[in-house]
């Protein structure tokens, strides 16, 4: 082998080694970014902003700060919840629990700052916007904390009571998503807003209950009562089918009465059909973390479909 060819071989090996180091480093950083997005609840903040945009399209509300406020609130509430439940999550989601423990102080600080920013922005929308912004945090305390003082009688947390736990979460988010943009716009509630509220209550019910299927061991250990623990996996699947059916009936009613345009109702129906497909996988797949993520992405599908209907 000549000196020139030998040098070319060395250069090629160096280039390959450099490229492998770049790929390895990008892979490591990508995994860290993905973990931060997933386990800190940041991705839920993005989805919440999309949900708010959907509400504004449905109700014809002009652009306002409501999506930003909801994104901040969502991040804060779910980050706090994950900080509180880190011990229970050791069983059902050890990777998330490890991430939360490793970044506990940073997450607590970020959640506090985000909620503070949300409250500050909500002041621009007036007292009703401020009250609605505070609502998820208040319900979060009632949901997860032993908020009743010791008076000799044991009161269960909302989180421990069957159906009430899911209904509380669904109600808080449905109120926030529906009425916060109305408050910022200075508009009053309408029959269409009532339909939107019911729609997001039902959708949030499914989104909240579905992850419980994968959390049965930690919920049993924490004495939390959920549909999968009481009804079993099959019973939960049929119960959530029922909620999806109610959602579809609601959308059909809104279209039939003219509260929502037929094309808009069809876009919402696409989301319900997608949800039913995911619900059908309950008890038929093992990766419930993936199933939960796919369920939460329903609103990305609905938002994209709705944007196509409205703007094209």
C-alpha 168/C-alpha 188 separation (Å) is: 24
Mean pLDDT of the chain: 82
Does residue 151 have a pLDDT over 50?
no
Cα torsion 278, 279, 280, 282: sign = positive
Tell me the C-alpha distance between 17 and 9, whole Å.
12
Higher-scoring residue by pLDDT: 151, 67? 67
CA distance 250 to 198: 8
Grade residue 289 by pLDDT with cuts at 50, 70 and 90.
confident
Smallest Cα–Cα separation from 185: which of 136, 135, 128?
128
The pLDDT value recorded for residue 283 is: 82
Summarize pLDDT for 117-146 with one digit per residue, the tens.
999 999 999 999 999 999 887 776 665 555
Burial letters for 191-206: b for 16+ Cβ neighbours within 10 Å, e otherwise? Answer: ebbebbbbbbbbbbbb
φ, ψ at 280 (rounded to 5°): -65, -20
* Among 118, 145, 146, CA closest to 134: 118
Give the CA distances from residue 200 to residues 21, 51, 187, 195, 307, in Å, rounded to whole numbers and listed in that order.
Answer: 47, 9, 19, 9, 18
Least confident of 7-11, 17-21, 215-219, 306-310: 7-11
What token pair was written down for 98? 């490890």
Kindly give, in sequence order, each residue whose CB lies less than 8 Å from that of residue 69, ignoring residues fewer than 6 positions away.
118, 121, 122, 125, 129, 133, 180
Domains of the chain, start order: 14-311 (1.10.600)
> How many Å from the N-terminal Cα to the C-terminal Cα in the chain?
65
User: Which tens digit of pLDDT belongs to each residue from 179-235?
Assistant: 999 999 998 889 999 999 999 999 999 988 888 787 776 666 666 677 778 888 888
Answer whether residue 48 shows pLDDT above 80.
Answer: yes
Across 149-159, average pLDDT: 49
Q: pTM of the prediction?
A: 0.82
Q: Are 213 and 282 in contact (CB under 8 A)?
A: yes
- According to DSSP, residue 103 is labeled T
């Amino acid at each position: 082998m000549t000196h020139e060819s030998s040098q070319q071989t060395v250069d090629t090996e160096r280039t390959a080694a450099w490229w492998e180091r770049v790929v390895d480093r990008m892979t490591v950083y990508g995994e860290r970014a993905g973990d931060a997005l997933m386990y800190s609840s940041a991705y839920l903040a993005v989805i919440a902003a999309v949900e708010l945009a959907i509400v504004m399209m449905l109700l014809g509300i002009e652009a306002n700060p409501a999506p930003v406020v909801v994104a901040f609130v969502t991040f804060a509430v779910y980050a706090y919840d994950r900080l509180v439940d880190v011990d229970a999550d050791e069983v059902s989601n050890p990777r998330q629990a490890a991430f939360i423990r490793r970044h506990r102080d940073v997450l607590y600080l970020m959640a506090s700052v985000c909620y503070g920013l949300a409250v500050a922005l909500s002041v621009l929308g007036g007292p009703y916007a401020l009250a609605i912004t505070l609502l998820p945090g208040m319900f979060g305390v009632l949901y997860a904390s032993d908020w009743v003082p010791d008076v000799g009688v044991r009161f269960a947390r909302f989180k421990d009571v069957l159906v009430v736990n899911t209904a509380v979460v669904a109600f808080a988010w449905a109120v926030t998503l529906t009425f916060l943009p109305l408050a910022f716009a200075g508009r009053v509630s309408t029959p269409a807003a009532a339909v939107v509220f019911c729609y997001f209550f039902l959708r949030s019910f499914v989104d909240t209950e579905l992850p419980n299927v994968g959390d049965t061991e930690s919920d049993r250990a924490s004495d939390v009562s959920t549909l999968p623990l009481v009804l079993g996996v099959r019973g939960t699947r049929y119960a959530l089918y029922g909620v999806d059916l109610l959602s579809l009936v609601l959308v059909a009613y809104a279209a039939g009465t003219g509260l929502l345009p037929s094309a808009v109702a069809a876009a919402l129906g696409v989301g319900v059909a997608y949800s039913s497909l995911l619900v059908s996988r309950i008890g038929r797949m093992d990766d419930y973390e993936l199933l939960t993520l796919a369920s939460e992405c329903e609103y990305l599908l609905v938002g994209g479909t709705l944007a196509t209907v409205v703007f094209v």
